[in-house]
Amino acid sequence: MKLSVIGCGYLGAVHAASMAELGHEVVGIDVDPAKISALSAGKAPFFEPGLDEILQSALASGRLSFSNDLADAKGAKVHFVAVGTPQRKGENAADMTYVNSAIDGLIPHLSAGDLVVGKSTVPVGTAARLAQSIADAGTGAMLAWNPEFLREGFAVKDTIAPDRLVYGVPAGNEGPKAKALLDEVYATALSNETPLVVADYATAELVKVSANAFLATKISFINAMAEIAEVAGADVTALADAIGYDARIGRRFLNAGIGFGGGCLPKDIRAFAARAEELGRGESVAFLKEIDAINLRRRQRAVDMVIESLGGQVFQKKVAVLGLAFKPDSDDVRDSPALDVAVQLHGLGAKVVATDPEAIPNSIRLHPQLGFATDTMDALHSADIVVLVTEWKEFRELDPVEIGELVKDKVIIDGRNTLDPEKWRAAGWTYRGMGRP
Ligand code: UDX
């Protein structure tokens, strides 16, 4: 099948390469010439395990190409819109500029019977509005909404073999036509019995934001328990294990620490709250403001723990910060709690030396004032305190005995509760986790 993918950022680049890998003929289109030239050369403009490999194999097969020109979407039967919906500056609502301009730019190249498929995370009501613009332009094309649930670090796997598919299709006789086209796109996943939910536009849009709101709530719930554990002398990790054995609760996404970040959860819960207010139902999701507040308090708590551990004297102390990315296996520092902790400590006068296997270049761009070391051992050398803020495998596997020789003081704050406290204490370290005695 011939497909176009408008927007080759995180979502679009992965989607374009994965669809070509599945056998479709795909053109990926983006306004950024640097992105297009990198992708055309088989190199993703960000770090994502496995993506370069499928980009290269799909480019070599001739099924995948990239372009700066929306006119190259012409001739495709299905057009995916995968542009960003960032948080608007100084506001909580989503910025719809890129979605609107992608649709406006695509309309002149649509043919009757084509299907435009929205993948971006949008405020509920967007699909109905865009369907109206497409109809008003007299193109004879249809619109569907097909939210994406990929996780960074697992993006290729999540796209090729998703855990569910959701289609928001138009009412009336266009509905079955849109569904049939999407079924053809996702034939491989459907033949592997991937669950499918077919619904209206508004439901499909809401599925995405409510899934992210639920995940954010789960993380902030356990972080709230961590706050209580801290004053009660309890251990939130044992608590999470114990409640997680209840299948109705489940252990996943119950890791307390410095909280969630990234390009999705923080901005999506804020945009959801803003949209609910516009719809006159702000009170229904007012709890999301609390979820956000708990989340932001946890990074502050990590900073406070560093100050306390240094006896209140942070100025000129060397702090080794292990991690900058918002989570491991990613170079993404958007809304990263790890980077925020490093920035706050620097702001307090500490000599921060931060390290991360992939996220240093993106961090330098945003915060050149910080100290960076590409080698973990350099970051640790003569450190007064160590703060682990992104649980990369290489940090989890550090040997407390070996690195104990390097640092000035054997004090570690484990912002992700990822190390074994007994092992570190046995090696003479003062170990402090989040929500643990
Ligand atoms: C998320 C959703 O999982 C995905 O379905 C959606 O499509 C996009 O948003 P992603 O942003 O890639 O994906 O990251 P995710 O793995 O969900 O982690 C988000 C943040 O939560 C990270 O900062 C992570 O460190 C943090 N987290 C996650 C916790 O603090 N505790 C947990 O138990 C799990």
Is residue 47 very low, low, confident or very high in pLDDT (cuts 50, 70, 90)?
Answer: very high
pLDDT at 81 (0 to 100): 98
| 218 marked ligand binding residue | no
293: amino acid identity, one letter? A
Express each pLDDT in 107-163 by its tens digit. Answer: 999 999 999 999 999 999 999 999 999 999 999 999 999 999 999 999 999 999 999
Using alpha carbons, list the distances in angstroms from residue 108 to 72, 199, 414: 11, 28, 54
pLDDT at 376 (0 to 100): 98
Is residue 283 very low, low, confident or very high in pLDDT (cuts 50, 70, 90)?
Answer: very high
404: which residues sit within 8 A by CB, 6+ positions away?
Answer: 410, 427, 428, 429
Q: How far apart are the first and last CA of the chain?
A: 57
**C-alpha to C-alpha distance for 417 and 430, rounded to whole angstroms:** 14
Beta carbon of 254 within 6 Å of any ligand 1 atom? yes
Torsion of CA 81, 86, 87, 88, to 10 degrees: -80
Ligand 1 centroid distance, CA of 354 (Å):
22
Express each pLDDT in 250-274 by its tens digit. Answer: 999 999 999 999 999 999 999 999 9
CA nearest to 397, candidates 411, 413, 379, 376? 376
Average pLDDT over residues 31-35: 97
Average pLDDT over residues 404-430: 98
Domains of the chain: 2-199 (3.40.50.720), 209-292 (1.10.1040.10), 298-433 (3.40.50.720)
Q: What is the pTM of this model?
A: 0.96
**C-alpha to C-alpha distance for 90 and 134, rounded to whole angstroms:** 31
pLDDT at 72 (0 to 100): 98
Using alpha carbons, list the distances in angstroms from residue 434 to 115, 242, 256, 362: 48, 17, 7, 27
Indicate which residue's Cα is closest to atom 2 of ligand 1. 151
Catalytic, 8? Answer no
Instruction: Classify residue 330 as exposed, middle or buried by CB count within 10 Å of its CB (0-12, 13-18, 19+).
Output: buried
Q: Which atom of ligand 1 lies nearest, measured to the CA of 258? A: 30
Q: Which two tokens stand for residue 101?
A: 């301009």
Q: Which atom of ligand 1 lies nearest, measured to the CA of 337? A: 23
Beta carbon of 152 within 6 Å of any ligand 1 atom? yes
Average pLDDT over residues 304-309: 98
Q: Which two tokens stand for residue 310?
A: 């240094």
Average pLDDT over residues 74-80: 98
Q: Which two tokens stand for residue 66?
A: 């990239």
Residue of 207, 237, 265 best suited for mutating to test ligand 1, as the one with most atoms within 8 Å of CB: 265
Indicate which residue's Cα is closest to atom 25 of ligand 1. 327
Q: Could you give the residue ranges of the DSSP H alpha helices within 153-264?
A: 155-160, 174-185, 187-191, 201-232, 236-244
**C-alpha to C-alpha distance for 321 and 215, rounded to whole angstroms:** 26
Indicate which residue's Cα is closest to atom 22 of ligand 1. 260
What sign has the CA pseudo-torsion 103, 106, 111, 116?
Answer: negative
Ligand 1 centroid distance, CA of 8 (Å):
21
Average pLDDT over residues 323-347: 97
Average pLDDT over residues 302-325: 98
61: amino acid identity, one letter? S
pLDDT at 244 (0 to 100): 98
Angle between helices 265-278 and 287-309 (to 10 degrees): 150
Ligand 1 centroid distance, CA of 327 (Å):
8
Beta carbon of 149 within 6 Å of any ligand 1 atom? yes
Q: ipTM of this predicted complex?
A: 0.97
Express each pLDDT in 341-361 by its tens digit. Answer: 999 999 999 999 999 999 999
Using alpha carbons, list the distances in angstroms from residue 56 to 15, 27, 154, 248: 14, 14, 18, 42
Q: Are strands 371-372 and 351-355 parallel, antiparallel or unpaired?
A: parallel
Is residue 245 very low, low, confident or very high in pLDDT (cuts 50, 70, 90)?
Answer: very high
Of the residues 264, 269, 341, 398, which is catalytic? 264
| 150 marked ligand binding residue | yes
196: left (phi over 0), alpha (psi -120 to 50) or beta: beta
Starting at the earlier edge strand, list the strands of the sheet with 371-372.
Answer: 371-372, 351-355, 318-322, 385-388, 411-414, 430-433
